[in-house]
Amino acid sequence: MHLRICALICILLLSACGKKDEELSNAPVAPLPDFAAIEDTKARKLAFFEYLKPLAERANQEILAERKIVEGWDGSSTASDEVQALINKYEIRATEPKQQKELLMRRVYPVPVSLALAQAASESAWGTSRFAREANNLFGQWCYSPGCGLVPSRRAPGAFHEVAKFDNPLEAIRSYMRNINSHPVYQPLRVERQKQVASQGYATGEQLANGLSKYSERGGMYIYEVRRLIYRNKLDAYDIPDGMEAPARMSKPVRPEVMVATSKGSGRDHETSDDDRLQAEQAELGGDVADPVEAADAAAASSEAAADASPVPVAEPAVEEAKAEPASNSEPAAAPAPTQGEG
């Protein structure tokens, strides 16, 4: 009798949680505010973070709900429809259930709020760029089907990419997090995240930013700019889970000496084939941290087109950060971002 009652309670609790998750996913999203109309820089930044932080947290809560599904799968039997949907969503090419479960456990995990906010501020010029205003695209993500988004005004001759258009900013954040959690070039970031979670129970945007060398062709300079945004705006405080003691304040980022763009490009200038994704997965499953990086580089360099690959975010050079956030006298302003794929 007691077992039946306990089982009934568990079923009711799971049902309630499922309804809550569904309500959260379907809750309306307020339109992107007109941040350009806010003339005061500090007020604009505050409004930007106050608008986006709840959306980033909401997207992460959805990822945690997905993770519960993965954790409930033993990885020894054929995936259920729910698990198979996640395998497809997170671009997993492995066919062995054990490998699929391991890769899902690496990928289906929240992205630090500080990282999402800093990159959104950088990519969208604090929500004032054309792509943010007209397409709700806060992360400069590309798509590859005609009519899928906005055509960049300075797109290079022969290029066919467009800047993805989203129904609302939450959809852009969901897409950004899925790209971070699935694309081969971000395996170093996911490896670092796994290490941090294992050692301290959570991951920080400050450290995970080091895995963004392929997010922009500016490489180390881009990482510096993201980490500087986190530092200046004290966004690292958003990464500390409730009830956990905050660590020492993050150190001030050091500006790279070399500021030239890398000749390898961003790694997001091409779609990535199934073979390259599978190669990167197998390297990652081998347990060697260096191999996934090499495999990801090879994937980015060799992949030209794959019909089912998802768009990967690419920086839009709308406004240099120095205009939106004045630099201190002791630290020169960052150079404006070069145009990605626009000539």
CA 225 to chain centre: 16
Give the pLDDT score at 12: 52
pLDDT digits (tens, 9 = 90+) for 13-27: 545 555 555 565 678
**Residue 231, both tokens:** 């530092």
**Residue 27, both tokens:** 């809750």
Distances (CA, A) of 269 to 6, 126, 305: 53, 24, 10
Q: Whole-number mean pLDDT of the chain?
A: 78
Whether 128 shows a pLDDT value over 90: the answer reads yes
Domain boundaries, the chain: 111-241+261-324
| Threshold 0.85, pTM exceeds | no
Whether 263 shows a pLDDT value over 60: the answer reads no
Q: Write down the CATH number for the domain with range 111-241+261-324.
A: 1.10.530.10
Mean pLDDT for 170-189 is 96
> What whole-number distance in Å separates Cα of residue 327 and Cα of residue 329?
7
**Residue 45, both tokens:** 């930044």
Give the pLDDT score at 248: 80
Give the model's confidence band at 161: pLDDT under 50 very low, under 70 low, under 90 confident, else very high.
confident
Give the pLDDT score at 16: 55
pLDDT digits (tens, 9 = 90+) for 66-102: 999 999 999 998 999 999 999 999 999 999 999 999 9
